Amino acid sequence: MNRQQLVEQIRKKQTCLCIGLDPDMERLPSVLSQGEEHPVLAFHRAIIQATAPYCVAYKLNTAFYEVLGSTGWQLLEQTLELIPDTHFKIADAKRGDVEHTARQYARAFFESLGFDAVTVSPLLGKDSVQPFLDYTDKWTILLGLTSNAGSQDFLQLPCGDGYLYERIMRQASGWASPNQLMFVVGATWPSQLQQLRQQFPDHFFLVPGIGAQGGDLQAILESGQAQSDAGLLINVSRAILYASTGNDFATAAAEKAAQYAREMAGFLQGRK
Ligand SMILES: O=c1ccn([C@@H]2O[C@H](COP(=O)(O)O)[C@@H](O)[C@H]2O)c(=O)[nH]1
């Protein structure tokens, strides 16, 4: 899905919500263990059906699938098949390796699995990211400023006239156009996100950290939108997936997603 198609979906639906499909076996509703289908697949089938009207993207964090071994990889593929073509599909895999290995990762996520986007660590430098960027019709989402407290250990260290994350993002922004390069910026750092938006007016930011991590949605919406178009994909995983673990889990997830979407619509209305 290219930028124009993504922006069209955001405008049409008046939401920039991305739902994280991070299936935690210990939190799945017990009703699902009684069926014939794998509980993760039954969970995703119900969640996607209930929430698709309120979001434009789904983000699958590969850790939650990898932990289940070969079954997990099958579930990843089967979950992708459940996601409508109208929705942007992100592999949150945070890959980063030397060039020839990175090329295999890029092939895996873009060709074998067919994701629209994959998250990548920029720390090994341009040659490690280039294999992803070579897929000009796909998106590379570089870790900019991550949402966790530990981003202060390295990413928020002073560097030149700014911080390390700014230096990384500035340099990496020269590697490809904003039509194929996004940055992860945590919702837990609203003032940094505001400054980053001024420095990077045209890039999409994938923003995790709303819901369970306590990020402030209003603050992100107020300061995070790009000049040219929406420019934000705001991810929520646990707060939607596990809104209820009872039999009403899908309805509860839909209500929560609709609530986030309504808040977003208030900001997106009337934008170009
Ligand atoms: O900086 C980052 C990068 C990625 N994540 C991932 O996003 C989701 C957030 O889940 P919630 O349940 O909404 O907190 C999860 O997959 C993280 O690994 C992040 O949180 N921060």
Categorize the per-residue pLDDT at 271 as very low, low, confident or very high, splitting at 50, 70 and 90: low
Q: What pLDDT is recorded for position 270? A: 58
Mean pLDDT value across residues 92-111: 98
ipTM score for this prediction: 0.99
Give the pair of three-digit tokens for residue 96: 């980063």
Give the model's confidence band at 35: pLDDT under 50 very low, under 70 low, under 90 confident, else very high. confident
Query: Is the pLDDT confidence value at 33 over 90?
Result: no
Domain that residue 144 falls in = 3-268
Looking at residue 157, the DSSP 8-state letter turns out to be: S
d(CA 208, ligand 1 centre) in Å: 5
Q: What is the CATH number of the domain that holds 24?
A: 3.20.20.70
Q: Which of 24, 51, 92 to mutate to test the pocket of ligand 1 (most atoms within 8 A of CB)?
A: 92
Total residues belonging to the chain: 272
- Cα–Cα distance between 202 and 179 in angstroms, integer? 9
Overall average pLDDT of the 97-102 stretch: 98
Q: Is the pLDDT of residue 128 over 90?
A: yes
Residue 188 has pLDDT above 90, yes or no: yes
Residue 147 pLDDT > 80, yes or no?
A: yes
Residues with CB under 6 A from ligand 1: 20, 22, 61, 92, 146-147, 184, 186, 208-209, 211-213, 235-238
Taking 90 as the threshold, does the pLDDT of residue 272 lie above it?
Answer: no
**Considering the chain, what percentage of its residues have pLDDT values greater than 90?**
92
Q: Which region among 43-52, 149-158, 224-233 has the lowest average model confidence (pLDDT)?
A: 224-233
Count: domains in the chain? 1
**Chain centroid to CA 115:** 12
Q: How far is the CA of 183 from the centre of ligand 1 (A)?
A: 14
- Segment 49-61 shows an average pLDDT of 98
Q: Is the pLDDT of residue 269 over 80?
A: no
Q: What is the mean pLDDT of residues 236-260?
A: 97
Continuous H helices in 83-216: 99-106, 126-133, 164-172, 190-199
Catalytic residue among 12, 59, 89, 94: 94
